[in-house]
Amino acid sequence: MSKLEQGKAHLKDDKYEEALILLNDYLIESPNHADALFFRGICHRKLGNFSHSVNDLTAVISKLPDEATIYSERGVSYYHQKNYKAALDDLNKAVELEPNKPYRYSSRAYIRAYIDVDGAIDDYEKAIELDPNDEIAYNNLGLLLENQGNMREAQKNFQKSNEIIGYNPEKRNDVQEENHAKTENEEKGSIGKIMLDVFRDKNTRKEFLEFLKSGFKRKED
């Protein structure tokens, strides 16, 4: 097994420091390998090295400018830097590249809510149009509507979210992944404390695991 594959395996097991060491070693031998740069960028973010994460993902974008996931991941790293404008620009590009993926709209909405609530509402509505079973989109849309004082529509969305996930507390915890109750979102006030984080939802995990298995459509060594 190559150091790249070993690094990916450690990353999948949440062993970020071990993964980073292996990916660094691999990139010494193959400094332009897109997959290795991408996964190292993810490792850096998991370890709180947001600037390094942005740098690696920017390098990948220069090689693979049509991969929506790279823009989305760099947007998440910008988000952790609280650079919401740059994050939104990247999420806009991801939507442009994959306009039929509901996850692209719900991802953008999560960040867009920081600077454009009406636009975030539009994005959640589009995500629901594309995926009527997206419980997180219903929940977050309800929270934004509630924050605007539109209680009737907010309750409709909360009810729909509850119908999808059920009222079983264990199932709710699985969907929310315990919601990491105290995160950077607390700075948004009450709505930030309870808004479900789209970047931890099942679509994120599914997409990331797919990349662990297959990498990008086009690789550069």
Count of structural domains, the chain: 2
Write the pLDDT tens digit of every residue in 158-185: 999 888 877 444 454 554 444 443 333 4
If asked whether residues 211 and 125 sit together in one domain, one would say yes
If asked whether residues 137 and 211 sit together in one domain, one would say yes
If asked whether residues 163 and 107 sit together in one domain, one would say yes
> What is the dihedral sign for C-alpha 42, 45, 46, 49?
positive
What CA dihedral angle connects 71, 117, 201 and 13, to 10 degrees?
50
Q: Is residue 38 part of a domain?
A: yes
Contact 161, 135 (CB under 8 A): yes
Q: Is residue 203 part of a domain?
A: yes
Contact 94, 78 (CB under 8 A): no
Task: Provide the token pair at 166.
Answer: 């059920």
Contact 85, 115 (CB under 8 A): yes
Distance CA 44, CA 215 (A): 18
| CATH number, residue 152 | 1.25.40.10
Q: Is residue 114 part of a domain?
A: yes
Q: Which residue has the higher pLDDT, 4 or 180?
A: 4
**pTM for this prediction:** 0.78
If asked whether residues 87 and 113 sit together in one domain, one would say no
**pLDDT confidence bin for 198, thresholds 50/70/90:** low
End position of a domain, from candidates 98, 129, 153: 98
Q: What domain range is 178 assigned to?
A: 100-216
- Residue 212 clears pLDDT 70, i.e. is over it: no
Task: Provide the token pair at 12.
Answer: 């999948």
Distance CA 1, CA 220 (A): 19
- Residue 150 clears pLDDT 70, i.e. is over it: yes
The answer to which of 15-19, 38-42, 79-83, 191-195 has the lowest mean pLDDT is 191-195
Mean pLDDT for the stretch of residues 3-23: 96
Amino acid symbol at 180 = H
Query: What is the H or E stretch that residue 149 is in?
Result: none
Amino acid symbol at 205 = R
If asked whether residues 94 and 132 sit together in one domain, one would say no
If asked whether residues 104 and 193 sit together in one domain, one would say yes
